[in-house]
Structure 1
């Protein structure tokens, strides 16, 4: 009878775990069309000028200048370039026939994810933009379609319920983007910088020196000297 009780308890526990894992989780990701810039922790800037980046190539964005932390990586199926060093402007490359109809981003470097992001999408011939965003693994994705107008089109992407935005994609509908720029974000967590190998070497030598001095002092303290 005891064995039957144990077997029943195990089966009940397994069933509860299976139910938990199979239950869908709502993707709490909100994207809205806004009028202005707002206030954010970081303005995304480029440390280097990128020219005619091949499809799938990476464009690295930094927070508040070249000396700031690397936070976000951009990729595309198109050939892309960036504007002059400084403010982030992503546009079609000169060798890609003017095609710019998708842009993906992902948290990278020091950022584990984002709580909010702002993008300004300027249209060339596209009439709409579809945004697909991914938050924490169990929360899945969300898709939203917006109309585009001439000039600036600011979009604010926000995660709720303590979730983090991990990645996302903008896809042009009916044509191409002219540029995506004025990218700003709030990073959820900034990882501490990893010391350079030379720094590690100096630290190890320092610890070894402190240990050696302590050892010598202890040795002198226990030595019997006869005068």
Structure 2
């Protein structure tokens, strides 16, 4: 009985945690359509396209890097990938994504903006070369009802791959407190039921 109670509590914890976090608001965040459905790609200086390798998860990722304006001014600057997200005003969200840098050159960087404000900015020194396999980045952003997420990337002369973009609501502290109290009640109920089921016999 105790094992069943523990397993049930664990299952409820998993379900409740995912329910509180809410759904992923990014359309086609894993690019599993095999294209840019839900996104607006702007291939300013180099083609952007889906790939089947390397991927972080699933079957597809996308190549998003263009060339830097510093090295190739005539080409117009880095590429951008944009999505307008419908969310809840004043709600805090966790933005998560995975980046793979391949065959990095003298200038490699990517920026992430939320409504035009930079929330992630990464640059790599010229001494770095070769590949940096997928790394997960997370940052909290604030919803306004309709927000613009944009990735800006340059990799001279290599490639930058993006995969598994997600935007999920960050639970309020009061919501976590209510959930914890609920699990405490569940544990107490299971304890009482187990205790009543014990039978003592005299020697």
Q: Into which bin does the TM-score normalised by the smaller protein fall?
A: 0.3 to 0.5
TM-score, reference length from structure 1 = 0.38
Larger Rg: 1
TM-score, reference length from structure 2 = 0.42
Higher RCO by CA contacts (8 Å cutoff, separation 6 or greater): 2
